[in-house]
A and B are shown apart, each in its own frame.
Chain A
Amino acid sequence: MIEERLSISKRTSNRFLFMIGLGLVLMIVGIFITMNSTGHHGGGHGEEAAAAAEGGHHAITWVNRLFSNLWLNNVYFIGIAVIGLFFTAVQYVAYAGWSVPIKRILEALSAYLPIGGILLLVVFLIGKHQLFHWTDETLYIKDNANYDPILAGKQAFLNEPFYLIRMVIFVGAWIFFDWWLRKQSIGEDLNGGLEYYHKSIRISAIFLVVFGVTSSMSAWDWVMTIDSHWFSTLFAWYVFSSWFVAGLAATTLTAIYLKQAGYLKVLNSNHLHDLGKFVFGFSIFWTYLWFSQFMLYWYANLPEEVVYFQERFHGYDGHYTWIMFAILFLNFVFPILLLMTRDAKRQMIMLKIVCFVVLFGHWLDFYQMVMPGTLRGESGFGFIELGTLLFFTGIFLTVFTRKLASASLVPVNHPFLEEAVHHHV
């Protein structure tokens, strides 16, 4: 099989840089707009002070909105990146042959991990008080008016040093395993032989165990603790499924775009069919987890649990209601109806439409997880949202395409390459 090297034109990489720049500009414009509009709404300091004294909350300003958006995109993009690594590992331990043509795409997705980890750390260190209620020190002082016995009970786990250690360990472990697997993959390209493949299987098996723990705990840490008092035993899986569908959609889109640009000659509609099945199946899986979480809380109706859905379905004058229904439509009804038939899963145009919709749908899903806890009723869709999304997309695409171009798109010495060429479903 012949090597295929992706060449990124200057124009394309400039376009990604332009996305980052435009994102920054839009963010700044958005900040000024939000600053002025909160000035109008606030009605002076008296009201804000009264509100703060009453609820123990601080007023929502552009700072909160900016950091919430940065955090939302951090979590969303680092999730897609780690899914690349996770799915590669799954292919190894499953001895999968069909996925050989998309292997390099999966590997390249995780290129964002180091930069994503740094962004995550920086945004947390600067914006922790805007994002996480539990970072308020006064909550843990017994005589303070803010003393919170529930959060004080969680302090052994939920304290800043341990949180930071966990964050570094999780992302560090992902980066390490990514580097280790990639080393085998490139070694296989250069030298051939089965040794690299067998070693990759062993590394993948260890990683999957590590990922089982780290993905769950990162979901609690990064997303669930925003609503510090609330907890759900299903939450980690729910976040994982959202990441997984988004990652699969990103992989499928990349495969289609590479194919349309004349690359990936081994890839045909049979491989796309399989990717389509994954997007279809895991969209249903996401819905299953969403509903499993929702129904038990709805049925039991315990105040400490149901408050999460109260906030989202009825809270803040129905501010988030449409989003809750929109995510169910975009992430469930849309993919299930459009990708149900075999023909749809084998057509690039249908897959493209569904993948874009699902990518946006899961971004909206994270929006719904992050915003009510940080911005309460003050969230919106404006220049800040668009700007941060563009900013992160630009960074992600830059490192992603660079890693894609750094090795042959077809793993030339993969033992299952021949099987992948003849893959037929």
Chain B
Amino acid sequence: MRQKQCTHIHQTIKRTMTNKKYILGVYEDEDVLLHAIENIRAAGTKIYTVFSPYPVHGIDDALGIERSRLPIAAFLYGLTGLAFALWMQIYMLGFDWPMIIGGKPHIALPAFIPVSFELTVLFTAHGMVITFLIISGLYPKLKVPVMDVRSTDDKFIMAIEVKEGVTDVNQLNTLLRNNGAIEVNEKEVTK
């Protein structure tokens, strides 16, 4: 039912958008999956991605995914927050509207540190979350492309992109099944 709806939508907007076809290998066991990933990559097949109901230990290494550069972004967000906080306080309390508070100088750095710390954390946290959502394509949208809904329940879905004229679908099918896939499906996704 869901599949049909999708293809219906596809046909209506086909002219403006390109479609991508994926072969989906369905796995039941994470150990089988990890071995399958190694074997399939060793066979020279590029895996688009793997969908899993929960984080699988060591899957990043098996898939050859590089470490995220999110920490670098986080550091920069933190610096931005710190700079903004210091600028804001120094400008407001030192130049825009100087007030004498507790007999301290207008620009009294120790008093600024708590706010600077909080804004550093705020900028870092929000920056990281927003960046992560955008990079992972998890920002709110109308149509969420789910390769196979069972990947949110109890199955692992391995997606391999089909390139017209390059990928031998039958060969891929045997490769996946030989490596423990219980099902092999095809899916078209609109980009």
Please list the residues of chain A having a beta carbon within 8 angstroms of any beta carbon in chain B.
Answer: 291, 294-295, 298-299, 301, 340-342, 424
Q: What is the minimal beta-carbon distance from B78 to any residue of chain A, in angstroms?
A: 10
A298 CA / B57 CA spacing, docked (Å): 49
Known: A295-B113, A299-B104, A424-B57. 17 other contacts (CB 8 A): A291-B110, A291-B113, A294-B110, A295-B110, A295-B111, A295-B114, A298-B110, A299-B102, A299-B110, A299-B111, A301-B102, A301-B103, A340-B75, A341-B71, A342-B67, A342-B71, A424-B58
Q: For residue B113, which residue of chain A has the nearest CB?
A: A291
Which residues of chain B come closer than 8 Å to A298, judged between CB atoms?
110
Q: Which residues from A are CB-within-8-Å of B114?
A: 295
- The list of the 4 closest CB pairs from A to B, nearest first, reads A295-B110, A298-B110, A299-B102, A291-B113
**Nearest chain B residue, comparing its CB with the CB of A422:** B57
Closest A residue to B72 using CB positions: A341
A341 and B69 CA atoms in complex are apart in Å by 11
Residues of A near B71 (CB, < 8 A) are 341-342
Count A-B pairs with CB separation below 8 Å: 20
- The CA of A294 and the CA of B108, in the complex, are separated in Å by 14
Interface 0/1 of B77-121, CB less than 8 Å to A: 000000000000000000000000011100000110110000000
A164 to B20, CA, bound (A): 80
Say how far B107's CB is from chain A's closest CB, in angstroms: 14
Q: In the complex, what residues of B have CB within 8 A of residue A295's CB?
A: 110-111, 113-114
Interface residues on B, range: 10 to 19
Name A300's closest neighbour in chain B (CB-CB): B102
Bound complex: CA A301 to CA B111 (Å)? 13
**Assembled-state Cα–Cα distance A341/B74 (Å):** 11
Chain B stretch 53-83: residues in CB contact (< 8 A) with chain A: 57-58, 67, 71, 75
**Bound complex: CA A340 to CA B182 (Å):** 44
- List A contacts of B75 (CB < 8 A): 340
Task: Kindly list chain B residues whose C-beta atoms are within 8 Å of the C-beta of A299.
Answer: 102, 104, 110-111
Which residues of B sit under 8 angstroms from A341, Cβ to Cβ?
71
Query: What are the residues of chain A within 8 A of B58 when measuring CB–CB?
Result: 424
Smallest Cβ-Cβ distance to B61: which chain A residue = A424
State the CA gap A301–B114 with chains docked (Å): 18
| Contacts of B141-188 to chain A: CB distance below 8 A | none
Residues of A within 8 A of B103 (CB): 301
Which residues of A lie under 8 Å from residue B110 when comparing CB positions? 291, 294-295, 298-299
Tell me the chain B residues, 31-62 only, with Cβ under 8 Å from chain A.
57-58
Docked pose: A286 CA to B111 CA in angstroms? 19
Closest-CB distance, B149 to chain A (whole angstroms): 31
Q: Which residue of A lies closest to B104 (CB)?
A: A299
* Least CB distance, A347 to chain B, in whole angstroms: 15
20 CB-based A-B contacts, threshold 8 Å: A291-B110, A291-B113, A294-B110, A295-B110, A295-B111, A295-B113, A295-B114, A298-B110, A299-B102, A299-B104, A299-B110, A299-B111, A301-B102, A301-B103, A340-B75, A341-B71, A342-B67, A342-B71, A424-B57, A424-B58
Q: How far is it, in angstroms, between the C-alpha of A299 and the C-alpha of B67 when the chains are bound? A: 44
Q: Within 8 Å CB of A291, what residues of B?
A: 110, 113
CB distance from A280 to the nearest CB of B (A): 13
User: CA of A342 to CA of B67 in the docked complex: distance in angstroms?
Assistant: 10
CB distance from B23 to the nearest CB of A (A): 31
In angstroms, Cα B82 to Cα A42, docked, is: 50
Complex CA–CA separation, A298 to B71 (angstroms) = 35
Q: What's the least CB distance linking A196 to chain B, in Å?
A: 30
Bound state CA distance, A340 and B78, in angstroms? 13
Q: How far is the CA of A299 from the CA of B111 in the complex (A)?
A: 8
Give the docked Cα–Cα distance between A342 and B110 (Å): 30
Report the bound CA distance from A424 to B59 in whole Å.
13
| In the bound complex, CA of A291 to CA of B113 (Å) | 9
For residue A301, which residues in chain B have a CB less than 8 angstroms away from its CB? 102-103
Q: How far is it, in angstroms, between the C-alpha of A290 and the C-alpha of B183 when the chains are bound?
A: 61
Task: Report Cα–Cα, A291/B114, bound state, in Å.
Answer: 10
Chain A residues near B102 (CB-CB < 8 A): 299, 301
A309 CB, min distance to chain B CBs, angstroms: 11
Instruction: Look across to chain A and name the residue whose beta carbon is closest to the beta carbon of B102.
Output: A299
Q: CB-nearest residue of chain B relative to A288?
A: B117
In Å, the complex CA distance between A317 and B152 comes to: 68
Q: CA separation between A341 and B57, bound complex, in Å?
A: 22
Query: Chain B 123-143, CB within 8 Å of chain A: the 1/0 string?
Result: 000000000000000000000
* Shortest beta-carbon distance from A337 to chain B in Å: 10
What is the CB-to-nearest-CB distance from B111 to chain A, in angstroms, rounded to a whole number? 7
- Smallest CB–CB gap between B60 and chain A, Å? 11
Bound Cα distance A294, B110 (Å) = 9
A298 to B67 Cα, complex, angstroms? 44
Q: How far is the CA of A424 from the CA of B111 in the complex (A)?
A: 41
**Distance A226 CA – B114 CA, assembled complex (angstroms):** 30
A302 to B71, CA, bound (A): 42
Docked Cα-Cα span, A341 to B70, in Å, equals 11
- The smallest C-beta distance from A260 to any residue of chain B, in angstroms, reads 26
A325 to chain B, nearest CB (A): 13
Q: How far is the CA of A141 from the CA of B80 in the complex (A)?
A: 60
What distance in Å separates the Cβ of B135 from its nearest Cβ neighbour in chain A?
18
